Amino acid sequence: MKKLLVQYPRLEENYSRLAQLCRGRYDIVPIDRRITEEELTGLLPEAEILFGDVKPAWLADAPDLKWVQISWAGVRPYIGTDLLDKLILTNAAGAFGVTIAEHAVGMLLTLARKFRQYYANMAEGLWKDAGSEWPLEGRRALILGAGDIGKAIAKRLRGFDMETVGFGKNPRKDPAPFDRFITLDALEEELAGADAVFGALPETPETLHLLNAVRLAMMKDDAIIVNCGRGSLIDPEALVSELNKGRFFGVGLDVTEPEPLPADHPLWKFGRVLITPHVAGIGFGHLPKTTDRIWEIALDNLERYIAGESLKNVITNEKGY
């Protein structure tokens, strides 16, 4: 019997449905999140499916492996490899919109209300006004990325009476949940008029340094930038240069280029920059609901796979995501 290797936590809670779907077709084999290459290699000859996250190179010698369901949304380690020509790779896009949107809005509020300064004042016992805030009502937010994460951000910003503009590769007849939707031809005009800019794009050659020196310079002096997508969206040298000029009310970065951000990197020194270590979308070990969503995607795809139907979230080298 072929094996279904499962590296996801909370297997016990999902085992009943997993076993029902397999119906004796697959031997369900739990594997550790810290599995070594040697340990995995011993299991791969009889494996057809893997629910897990391992280095692509570890899967090179897996003659019967047909499908890998990873628990991430990002797929950079797999892009450009011949692995995608040999098997189906699916990701967990759709599981992270809520948690990342909450993180992004939390960053916006922290920067807009100057909470960083007040936290610093608290540490010194200072009762001190930090100055005028950045009101959200009536502001325009440009959201770079119109997938699950971008839509979730837009829905939450509308609760603050902000106008939302979505950005993506292809035009859309219906902009919802955004107020408006644009493509690349209108990006620079919208950047110049945006009060807040959110990054929620996958990493592709087209998104690499999309916010470069020229485009950052176009933005309003008091704009707020929040990036919870991929660090490569923003040219870090250009961002530092603009911050040194006193521009931008605040910048929130859950992702950076490079990662981890070196301790001596100049971005750490700015009081109006808020940095978190790529934790906005962590599923396993942080939020149980996100873990549940990852399982829902995996189990739905397993049902499709067994029925011979097309899977969701299939990754290709051509798309880059």
CA dist., res. 158 & res. 142, Å (int): 12
Tokens of 88: 């189906």
- Per DSSP bridges, beta strands 26-30 and 250-253 are unpaired
Give the long-range contacts of residues 57-63, CB within 8 A, separation 24 or more.
59/83, 59/87
- Side chain identity at 2, as an amino acid letter? K
Distance of CA 132 to the CA centre of its chain: 32
Spacing of C-alpha 127 from chain mean position:
38
Say how far apart CA 219 and CA 213 lie, in whole Å. 10
Catalytic residues: 230, 259, 278
Measured in Å, how far apart are the chain's first and last C-alpha atoms? 32
Distances (CA, A) of 191 to 12, 211, 212: 48, 10, 12
Task: Provide the 8-state DSSP code for 313.
Answer: S
Q: Are 67 and 48 in contact (CB under 8 A)?
A: yes
Q: Would you say how long the chain is, in residues?
A: 321
Q: Hey, what are 307's tokens?
A: 């029925």
Structure tokens at 79: 């892009």
Residue 5's SS3 state is strand
3-state DSSP assignment of residue 69: strand
Please give the Cα distance from 288 to 10 (Å, whole number).
Answer: 9
Helix, strand, coil percentages (3-state) for the chain, rounded to 5, are 40, 15, 45
Q: Rounded to the nearest 5 degrees, what angle is found at the Cα of 46, between the Cα atoms of 42 and 52?
A: 75
